[in-house]
Structure 1
Amino acid sequence: MRQTFKSLKLLTAAALVTCAAGVQATTLTLSNWVPPTHFVTSDILQVWAKNVEQATEGRVKIRMLPKPVGSPPQHWELARKGIADITWGNFTYEPDRFKAIWFAEFPFNGDNSEAQSVALWDTYQKYLKDTPTFQGVKLLGTGMFGGGAIHHGTKNIITPEDLANQKIRMGGPIQKRLLEEMGAVPIAAPAPQVYELVENGVVDGSLNPIESVINFRAADMLKHHTLVPGGFYDATFFLAMNEGTWNKLSEADKKAIMSVSGEHFSRLWGSEYDRQTAMALKELKAQDHEFNTPSPELMAKIKEVNKKVVAEWAADGASFNVDDPMEMVEFYRSRYNELKNKN
């Protein structure tokens, strides 16, 4: 009888511990808008989610929703309103809201995604985190993709004349402006549609990072690639949590989450993009694709356009609450070069 009572006490104590653990455990939802097979899901978001669970010793878990709760351009607002606890997306899917970030999507911002992503995080921390635009969420990391290239279905793009009047698929207003200034005809369309767009003659080529040619299965349609040193353009991404959700977490869990977020998430993002780019380059070269660099004339044209659009953007700094936009740009570039030299 005494042994039975003792066993009962042990079971009760174990149950109390289990209940307490259950009360302390927090499950956060994550809205993701790319397929489960995409490397952003499998090799970045899911890895980060596991890192969070390990860092918090199981007290915080991330549950990826079976489908997104809104379109990709809505994902900042979905986090801000708490419709999902955590979201990710491209800043310039909302170009007017995130004009402060435009500088990182102009030409020549780098071809090393890890260095870029961390430099963007550091720039956000130093210049942007307290501006009104970024309130309502806890930013958990930033990412870039290591420089976008010009891809064509039938010819090499080497000179300004090669690009003139070519119909080029693009994904946003900054890319649109760049193409227009270069004399091309921008066609807005989602990147996953590039194969059918080229096949059907809707576009002649596309702006994409190298990895997308492989990951969007467009290699049979895009066989000519022009790699602009430092990138013809780029894209900027965020990982964000609803601010109210963040504030409800314990200080210990906040600290643990940030130990695998912020710079750490940005490194994870960038290193995976760099890996994907390297694999794609190897695969495309094995398929005898043609790779080109711009002629001096085309490089001069890109530099001319870049100087113009950056100056226009910087002149509007008051609208996005940055007193000296070019100081911010120089900080990003200096940090990028420092990080790239370490990688």
Structure 2
Amino acid sequence: MTSKLKIAAVACAALTAVAAGAGTAAAQTTLKVSHYLPPVHGIHTDFIVPWTEQVTACTNGEIQFEIFPGGTQLGNVAKQQEQVLAGVVDIAHGLHGIPRGRFPRTSLIELPFLTDDAGAASETLWELYPDHLAPEYKGLKVLALHAHNGGLIHTSDKKVETMDDLKGLRLRTPSPAVSAMLTALGATPQGLPPGEVYENIQKTVIDGTVFPWDPVKSFGLNEVLKYHLDAGAYTVPFFFVMNERKYEGLSDTAKTCIDEASGAALVAKFGDWWDKWDAAGRQEAEAAGHTITALSPEERQRWRDALKPVTEAYIAETAKQVDDAQAIYDAMRAKLAEKGQQ
């Protein structure tokens, strides 16, 4: 080989090595994940962090993650959906009811006394997603839908056992459906992000809140609450979504790994997770000497009767946006009945 040919061969090999190195670097992708809860919450510690670790391991490091929880610049509860659609973050976990009105189909699960079980509610949402809920998620790759266990009514200074006890109480609400329920029961709903509840109870701007047990602990609310009514009258849904274009631009391996970590396999975990998270919140309240009561069977029926018009009116209002609102609600009831609810 002549010296000129040797030089050309060496140069070619060098260029090939540089190209290979560049290809390896390009194959590694860091995805931004945001949610609105504090990093001590089970959503962060039991769900999102292990989910990212599973995907990273499955892709042999091709996909990495940067997580932005509540309290960070990307952790605003009201911006989770829009951040994903805009590509500001790649994946987000958010609450359907904040801001209001974006998910009228999915939010029908919030109507009174449909379900008080996170597992049944989460599975119902996922099973109904393809045929009934999908139009609400354009531009998004839906990784999971889920809901929490039945919510309680927590108050700072007044014990609540009956509908009459609710009259005039200012209670934080997560969504329009729950607001309508509280109004019908005599309370005054106040829309607030979860992270602002502590301060507003402490300053007596509100008298209490509706939550399952777990955020009571994770947001430190047992410090400002004394009474808890286990009503189990509602749940609220959550989304875990990815920017669809970002997903489609990933390698086949990355997409397969994300799919395997998501969907039905992920949704099936939320029932046990919520039971665990709720148990910690209740135990903390019990240790603090709080008063915990449950609706009597008679009072529960009274609430059901009072809230029937709320359900009918809410479905009628939703039907102005969604042609098959009644059919979706009926499908939810049927699925939940199959799972032993109602």
Q: Give yes or no for TM over 0.5.
A: yes
Residues 107 and 236, structure 2, Cα contact 8 Å, conserved in 1: no
In the alignment, which of 123, 143, 153 is matched to residue 140 of structure 1? 143
Look up the match of 2:255: 254
2:281 is matched with which residue?
280
Q: Does 1:36 align with 2:39?
A: yes
Q: What is the match of residue 160 of structure 2?
A: 157
User: Contact 1:100–1:322 (CA<8 Å) still a contact in 2?
Assistant: no
Is the contact made by 1:164 and 1:182 (CA closer than 8 Å) also made in structure 2? yes
Q: Alignment identity in percent?
A: 28
Instruction: Select which of 77, 80, 97 maps to 2:82.
Output: 77
Amino acid of the structure 2 residue aligned with 1:186:
P
Give, in whole Å, the separation in 1 of the partners of 2:335 and 2:176: 26
TM-score by length of structure 2 reads 0.84
Structure-1 separation of matches of 2:270 and 2:17: 40
Q: What residue is the counterpart of 2:116 in the other structure?
A: 111
Shift of 1:160: 1.6
Counterparts in 2 of 1:147 and 1:31: CA distance versus 1, 3 Å: same
The one-letter amino acid of 2:314's match is W
Q: Could you tell me which amino acid in structure 2 is paired with residue 26 of structure 1?
A: T
Name the residue aligned to 1:8: none
Compare 86-95 and 12-21 and name the one that shifted more.
12-21
Q: Per-residue CA shift, 1:126-158, capped at 9, x if unaligned?
A: 3122x2x31111111112111111112233311
The answer to whether the 8 Å contact 2:161/2:293 transfers is yes
SS of residue matched to 2:221: coil
Q: 1:265 to 1:108 in 2, by over 3 A?
A: same
1:125 corresponding residue in structure 2: 130
**Contact 2:217 2:280 (C-alpha < 8 Å) held by counterparts:** no
Unpaired segments of 5 or more residues in structure 2? 1-14
2:328 is aligned to: 328
Correspondence for 1:100: 105
Q: How does the TM-score come out when normalised to structure 1?
A: 0.84
2:329 is matched by which residue type in structure 1? Answer: V
Change (3 A) 1:109 1:15: farther
Deviation at 1:97, TM superposition (A): 2.0
Q: Aligned-pair distance for 1:220?
A: 3.2
Q: Quick check: 269-278 or 98-107, which moved more? A: 269-278
CA shift digits 1:232-291 (9 cap, x unpaired): 222211111111111112333322211111122323444322211022223322333222
Q: Match of 1:4?
A: none
The Cα RMSD (Å) is: 2.9
Q: 1:23 to 1:191 in 2, by over 3 A?
A: closer
Q: Does 1:197 align with 2:200?
A: yes
Partner of 2:226: 223
**Residues of 1 paired with 2:36 and 2:286: CA distance?**
30
Contact 1:146 1:209 in 2 (8 A): yes
Which residue identity lines up with residue 272 of structure 1 in the other structure?
A: W
Rounded to whole Å, the distance in 2 between the matches of 1:293 and 1:70 is 34
Match of residue 7 from structure 1: none
TM-aligned CA distance change 1:179 to 1:283, over 3 Å: same
Structure 2 vs 1, CA of residues 85 and 200 (structure 1 numbering), >3 Å: closer, same or farther?
A: closer
